[in-house]
Structure 1
Amino acid sequence: MGACMKPPRLAIVTSLCKGMTLFTHIHLRKDKFTNNKSVIVAQQISQGMGYLHARGIVHKDLKTKNIFLENGKVVITDFGLFSVTKLCFGNNARGDSLGIPPGWLCYLAPEVVRALRPH
C-alpha cells in the first residue's frame, strides 16, 4: 500500500479487499451491530480519514459503499474522486498556471471548482 502525490504522478495503491461493504452489512444483510462494534467501526473510520488528511488527501466520497469490513478491520476505498489539497503551479513562462490532474475537472462539484485556490 502506498501513495504518490507528486504531480503529475498521482496514484494510490491498495491491497485487494475481500470483505463486504458497510452498506451491505447494514442495508442488505440487515446485520445488527452492538454498540461496542459500532464505536470500533467509527473509530477506525476516523483514524483512516485522519491518516489520509495528514497526507493532504481529501476523499470527498466517503459513504457506506466505500467502507469495507474485513476481518474486524475497516478499509476505506474508492479514491476515484479524491483530491490533493495543495495544487501545484505549472511550468509555463509566467509560472501562473494551475495544474489540475487530467480528467478531474469534469467530476468536481461547482462549489469545489469555485473554491480552488493555488497554494
Structure 2
Amino acid sequence: MIGIDLIKTDRMKRFLERFGDRGLQKFLSESEILLIKHHRNAAGFWAAKEACAKALGCGIGSECGFHDIILSKSPKGAPLINLSSHVKELFNIQSLSVSITHDGEYAIAVVALQQS
C-alpha cells in the first residue's frame, strides 16, 4: 500500500507560532522533536505521519495515532519510519519506507508499506 500527503509549510509555521513545543508534542515524540530544526522539518514529519496513516487505510485515529508512527533519521540524514508494535501487529506490517521532500512552500511525503 502507498500513502501520500502534502502540507503547505506556512500552515506549520503558523501552528508553531501559536502552540510552540506544546503543539509539536501533539504529533511528535521527544526524540522526533530533537530532529526539528525549522518549521519545514516539522511540516515534512507531519506529512509523513499522515501519509503512513493513509497507507494503512485508517487515517489518524483510534487504530493508529500520531505517536504510533515513529520517525527518525539514518546516519546520512535520510528519513526512516517505524510503527509501534501494536500497530505493526494489528495491520500485519512486514516493511515500510518513507520519502519526504520540500519544494517551495510545500512539504510532501510518501509512505510505502508491505503487509503479510
Indicate whether the TM-score tops 0.5: no
Q: Which one has a larger percent strand, Structure 1 or Structure 2?
A: 2
Instruction: Give the TM-score normalised by the residue count of structure 1.
Output: 0.31
Structure whose CA Rg is larger: 1
Q: Which structure dedicates a bigger proportion of its chain to helix?
A: 2
Q: Which has the higher contact order (CA 8 A, sep 6+)?
A: 2
